Structure 1
C-alpha cells in the first residue's frame, strides 16, 4: 500500500475517533509568498525564494499547518471531502498533508507544523550535521535527496565535498554544481545514492511529489539509516513512525 494512502487511513481513524468527520469543518489552504513563509533569510538561494516551490498553509480552528509543493492551489471544504480525494496529483497530496499537519497540531499530537524563519534554516542545517556526526560517527558518505542549499553547504563543511551525494527532480538543478558537488537526477541516481551513503537526509516534500514510497522501499532493502527533514512531514512522521529531523520548526 502506498505510504500516503496508509497515512490517510490512519488520519481518517483519528478524525473519526475525535468526532470531526461529521462536523462541518472547513480548511483553507492559501499559497504563501516567500516572505510570509520563511521571513528574510540572509541567503537567497532557497528553492522557495526562487519560485521552485510554494508553501501552502491550512487553517483549522486556532491552528496552522503547512506543506511544500510545486503544484499549489487554494481549497476550502470539509475534512470528509479532503479524505475522499483521489491522491493522483501533487496538488491533492499537498492539501492532505497540510490538513494532517493542522489537525494533528490542533489535537496537540505534534508541534512543528510551521516552517522556521529568517536564518533559522542555516542554524538547523549546522545542527543536523552535528547530530549526524554525533549519532553516526565519521561516515564516509552522506546522501541528500532534494536540493537544499543550506544543508548542502553545511554537509560539505562537516564531511567534505568529496563525501556528499545529492539528487533532485528539478531539471534546472540537475547537472549543476554547488560547493563542488554535482546535483544528480533523482529518478536515475537515488538507488545508487542510497547504496553508497552511510546516512541519507530526505526532503519531506517527497511525500507530496510521490517519490517517498519508492525511497522507503530502497531504505528497507539496503538496511540504510535515514531521516526526513522539514515541517512538511511532521504529521506523516507521527502517523507512520518515520524518522524526522526538524530542530527549528514552529508550533502552528
Structure 2
C-alpha cells in the first residue's frame, strides 16, 4: 500500500502550483494534507477515485487537515474527543478495518516557545490517544509533527536548541511517543541518512541551499515495522514550504 502526506501550507495556493498533478501522479491509496487553511467547501477538488474527508479549524484560514482515500473507511472521527484540542482541525482518524490511519498537524510552540505548555499537554494527550488505539490493532500516523527529533534531522542543530520545533522538551516528547511503541519509518529504513529534510524556511534561499528540517513523518506501531517496504522524503516536489513524505507498506 502507498500512503502520502503533505503539509501544503494552504491548499488553495498549492492547488495553483501543481497540487493535483502530483496528487494524480502519486496515485496513493491514502493521501493526506495538513495546514489546508480553508473551510470545507471553499475549494472543490476533483478526486473521482478517492473519498474526501475535511476537518477545518474554527478560525478561518488557519490549520486544518484532509484525507483522500480510495477505500471507504469503517468510520471517520475528527479530533481526539478532547475539547481543548478539537477546535483547530488538527487530527483525522480513519478506521480502515485491519488498521487505524491518523493524519495529524501538531501545534507549533510558536516564537519564544509561547505555546510550549499547551504543546506539552497536546503531546501527552495524543500519546495516550494513539496508545489506546494501538491496543486494538496496528496504527499508522502521518503528518507534520512540528519537531526535528534528532540532530541529524536538522541542518543547524547547535543554534536551534531553544527554538520551536527543536526544543529539548519537544524532542523528548517525540522520544516518549516512539518509546511507547511506535517506529519512525524513515529512520528505521535509513538510520544514518543526512541532509534529508521536509521543510525549509522561505527566507535566505533555504531550500536552494538545503538548510532544512525533517518535521514530517510516517510513524507505524511497532507490531508492523517489518511490513515497511520503504519510506521516502520527496524533496523534488514543490508547491509548499514542505515537501511530501511517502510510506510504502504491506498491510
- The two structures have a TM-score, normalised by structure 1, of 0.29
Task: Kindly name which structure, 1 or 2, has the bigger radius of gyration based on alpha carbons.
Answer: 1
Q: Between Structure 1 and Structure 2, which shows a larger proportion of helix residues? A: 1
- The two structures have a TM-score, normalised by structure 2, of 0.29
Q: Between Structure 1 and Structure 2, which shows a larger proportion of strand residues? A: 2
